Amino acid sequence: MNDPYALLARWIDDAGGSDSVEAVAMCVATADASARPSARIVLLRGLDERGLRFYTSYESRKGRELLENPYAAAVLYWPALQRQVRVEGRVSQLSEAESDAYFNSRPRGHRLAAWSSEQSAPLESHEVLEERFAHFEQRFEGEQVPRPHSWGGYLLVPARFEFWTGRPNRMHERTLYTRQNSHWRESLLQP
């Protein structure tokens, strides 16, 4: 198969589908302007021929790092299937319309949490966060919760995919896809 997007979609389906947190949990690594890396788990919330989508606070550590250095690496791992996919590429913010559409599909409590939390900022106590949540719950009572301008989506546009399948005796199968203009070049890597 010479379409890494379709292969990734198939592997996600094999792992439980896009509604399964275990199937779409991915580790996203970013680096700041000094090349100091950081990684965290986010949920893959969209996949098509444009790339991989995830959502977060633009003011979070990852948001600040992506502003300084707009490249990331992501890993999806399914231990029960002995499969892993690594993706590397440039990251850009999604349009406001796309971010709004996803935000409005989230449960109300999740939308309120986006207003309540200054993600990655120091927190003096969990009670303060609960108070902020209660404040926004009251502020938006009976209304649609709008998307904060500090929250939205990112698109990871792959330049490279690596599909790994575990094999006995550590003779793993590794298939690399690298972007060559508008096409993908497929090659094998040694385990």
Q: Which CATH fold topology does 4-103+149-189 show?
A: Pnp Oxidase; Chain A (2.30.110)
CB atoms within 10 A of CB 138: 8
pLDDT confidence band for 191 (50 / 70 / 90): very high
The pTM assigned to this predicted structure is 0.93
pLDDT computed for residue 174 by the predictor: 97
pLDDT confidence band for 137 (50 / 70 / 90): very high
Residue 170 annotated among the catalytic residues of the structure? yes
Q: Flag whether pLDDT at 153 surpasses 90.
A: yes
pLDDT computed for residue 119 by the predictor: 85
Q: Enumerate the domain spans of the chain.
A: 4-103+149-189
pLDDT confidence band for 1 (50 / 70 / 90): low
pLDDT digits (tens, 9 = 90+) for 7-65: 999 999 999 999 999 999 999 999 999 999 999 999 999 999 999 999 999 999 999 99
- C-alpha angle 160/21/15, rounded to 5°? 65
Which residues are paired to 162 by β-bridges? Answer: 86, 176
Q: Flag whether pLDDT at 176 surpasses 90.
A: yes
The active-site residue, picked from 45, 83, 170, 174, is 170
119 against 173, higher pLDDT: 173
Which whole number is the average pLDDT over 72-89? 98
Which whole number is the average pLDDT over 78-99? 98
pLDDT confidence band for 121 (50 / 70 / 90): confident
Residue type, position 123, single letter: L
Q: Flag whether pLDDT at 122 surpasses 90.
A: no
Cβ density class 159-177: b for 16+ within 10 Å, e for less: eebbbbeeeeeeeeebbbb
Which residues are paired to 85 by β-bridges? Answer: 76, 163
Helices marked H in 45-166: 61-68, 96-105, 108-116, 126-139
Name the DSSP class of 187. Answer: E
Which whole number is the average pLDDT over 120-139? 91
Q: Give whole-number Cα distances, 45 to 1, 26, 61, 69, 120, in Å.
A: 23, 10, 19, 22, 21
CB atoms within 10 A of CB 119: 17
Which whole number is the average pLDDT over 119-132? 89
Which whole number is the average pLDDT over 156-168? 97
